[in-house]
Amino acid sequence: MDTSTQVAAHAALIPAGYWQDAKGSLIPESMIKPIDRERDSLVKALVAKATELSKFMAAFKAEAFGDIQAFIDLSLEQYDTSMGGKKGNVTLYTFDGRYKIQRAIQEHISFDERLQAAKALIDECLKDWTAQAAPELKAIVNGAFDADKQGNISTGRVLGLRRLDIKDERWVKAMQAISEAVQVVGSKSYIRVYERIGDTDQYRAIPLDIAAVQV
C-alpha cells in the first residue's frame, strides 16, 4: 500500500466535520483556526510534490543503472567477453569530456567469529610486548577494537591494522584471521553525475540530493 492509499484509508475513518490531531483526538472542524488550516494545506501540498519527486528519482536511478549496465555489456561484447554480476565501479565520460557519470557500489562489511581469534592472538602479542612496545602502538591496536554506542566495531580501524609492519608470527596469523573474517553483509549503489568546471580538469557534482540543490 503506497502513501497516498494509506492517507485515503486513514481519512475514511475520520467522521465528516472532524479533523484528527497529532494525538489522535477528533477536533470539530469549526474549532480549527484558519492559520492551522493553511499550515495543514501547505504541508500536505509539499509532501505530495515530494512524494512524486521521490518516485521520479527512484525511476531515474533504476533507469540509469539499467542503461549503464546495458552499455557495459555492449562494450564487453566488442571483446567477446562478459562480466559476471552487476558489481563494480565505473565512470563514463561524454566525448568532449564535459560530463561524466559514475556508478558506485559501496559494500558494507562485517566480521565473523574469526575476529575473536585475531583479537586473542593480538592480546598475546601485546602482553609479551609490554616492556618494549610503544604506548602509541598499543593505543592504536586497542582502539581498533573499541565498539561504538551501538556495539559496532569500526571495520576501517580493524582492517587498518594490516598495514602495520610487524613480523611476529602470531601477529601475522592474526592479520590472516582478520582478512578471512571479513563478510560482505550488504551494499549500497549510487549514481553520481558531474559537469566540468569551465576549461579546467575539475568537475562539480550535479546535485541529486535535495539538501545540496542551490535555489
pLDDT score for 133: 64
Helix (H) or strand (E) holding 192: strand 182-196
Q: What is the pLDDT of residue 39?
A: 96
Per-residue burial over 68-104, b = 16 or more CB atoms within 10 Å of its CB, e = otherwise: beeebeeeeeeeeeeeeeeeeeeeeeeeeeeeebbbe
pLDDT at 83: 56
Per residue of the chain (215 residues), give pLDDT as tens.
565 666 555 666 788 889 998 998 999 999 999 999 999 999 999 999 999 999 999 999 999 999 998 998 888 888 776 655 556 789 999 999 999 999 988 878 888 888 888 889 888 887 877 666 667 677 787 788 887 777 778 888 888 888 888 888 889 999 999 999 988 888 888 899 999 999 999 999 999 888 777 77
Q: What does the pLDDT read at residue 143?
A: 82
pLDDT at 144 (0 to 100): 82
pLDDT of residue 149: 78
Sign of CA dihedral 20, 23, 24, 28: negative
Residue 24, C-beta contacts closer than 8 angstroms, at least 6 positions apart: none
Per-residue pLDDT, 42: 97
Tell me if the pTM is above 0.75: no
